[in-house]
Amino acid sequence: MRHARRRVVRRVTRLAAVGGLLLGGTMVTHAVASEPGTPDAVPFSTASPGDGAAAGPGAALVQRLGTSRTAGTWVGGDGRTVVAVTDQEAAEEVRAAGAEPKMVRHSMDDFDSATRTLSSAPRVPGTAWLKDYRSNQVVVRGDSTVSADDWSSLTDVADGIGDFVRMERVEGAFTTRLAGGLPVLSTAGRCSAGFNVTDGEREFILTAGHCGPQGSVWFSDSGARQKVGTTVGGSFPGDDYSLIAYDGGKAGDNAGVVAVGGNKGVRITGVADPTVGQRIFRSGSTSGLRDGEVTALDVTVNYPEGTVGGLIESDVCAEPGDSGGPMFSEGIALGVTSGGSGDCRSGGITYFQPVTKALADLDLKMIVAPGAEGGGGSPSPAPSQAQGVTAPDAATPGSSTPVRGILPDPSTLVSRLADPRNVGPGLLVMGGSLVALVASRWIRAEQDRKAYRRQYSATWG
């Protein structure tokens, strides 16, 4: 009876081992068949400001009416476009276009003249100025590092311009956010990857210019083992953007996705300029995904390292290490994080380099996600003309997607073997089945030898 049970166990073990070999072989075959192609074969589309992207109908109205008759445009609390105008005829044109006019005293020409005068004054680090469309004023800000004498001198300059210049002191200090999207690290510090861009042949990370000079080598891990690429160009001060050329020349899977934390990302589908009042989202390697509102455009900031102009201002927070991270809304790329004041505990002000300016200067295109979920390389839809006039509370970051392969992923061997998309699980099943088959054969042979010795001893002992 005992021998019969052993024979059944051995037969079941052999059948299971053979079945395991067949199953493992099938798993390996399927994994190889479904293995994603090389980075060269990853489908993506591109977008640039010239592809029809626009900040909204207000920008077109301002351009048509001219800078002497308008003083900016913004999104109202109800999502309607508001355009500041200086005469009744312009107001009628705005109203006929379906937007809301607001009569003001000072035009964009007045704003431009005021900011030119401020720029020609002696430079004071820790100051910034902006055109506040909604109050029809130019606002000059000074942080806590500005001395009383410097503030007094700048106030004298403002008084000479006119009563539409407003002086404000703010807490904290205007600093670049160098310490992350995903973090990139070098000897210059820690920044965040912004957007993936391309010249048609090579692919790059667009990030902040102050993150590091040309030649800076970047890694995705603190041990400097996972190399990302090298800084090959940019502009800072003046502007605040730079390019990191990927070490292998390609961004890899999900090139049109930006990371927002929790192994999730947002599909980027276009590029545009923002509108004042628009709700935006910012992602960084220090503070993660945060949201806020665009409060001003064409802002000049005097950082300790130098002056940067043409920035976007927002009331979203940021912290050191968030520099270079992406700013977007409804999947539309808008800017990369430059600097600001405050933090994400007490709040603050953050400035962004417009993506459109960087792409135009560098003659590059944004890499965007395919136009439809799983739709291969079909063209992405151009951002709507009304993209910039979404009601602030109704805006979302964009369509969510899992994040894989934006930067080199230092996955463990165990996680790689456990991934059903790899050949690892199949090989493990095959290996285990072979071990079981060999073991069952060895056990049977050993049992036969013992039985023979018992029989031999009983006969000749």
| Annotated catalytic residue within 45, 106, 110, 210 | 210
Q: Which residues pair with 271 in a beta bridge?
A: 333
Sequence length of the chain is: 461
How would you list the strands of the sheet with 100-103, edge to edge? 70-75, 81-85, 100-103
223 burial type by CB count under 10 A (0-12 exposed, 13-18 middle, 19+ buried): exposed
Other C-beta atoms lying within 10 Å of the C-beta of residue 237: 16
Strands 100-103 and 81-85: parallel
Please, are residues 226 and 183 in contact by the beta-carbon 8 Å criterion?
no
Which one from 143, 240, 273, 322 is the annotated catalytic residue? Answer: 240
Q: Which helix (H) or strand (E) holds 362?
A: helix 355-362
Q: What DSSP state is assigned to residue 379?
A: P
Catalytic residue (choose from 48, 314, 323, 440): 323
Q: What is the 3-state secondary structure (H, E, C) of 246-280?
A: ECCCCCCCCCCEEEEECCEEEECCEECCCCECCEE
Spatial distance between the Cα atoms of 238 and 231, rounded to a whole number of angstroms: 18
**DSSP notation for 28-76:** HHHHHHT----GGG---EEE-GGGS--S-HHHHHHHHH-TTTEEEEEE-
Catalytic residue flag (residue 323):
yes
Q: Among all residues, which ones are annotated catalytic? A: 210, 240, 323
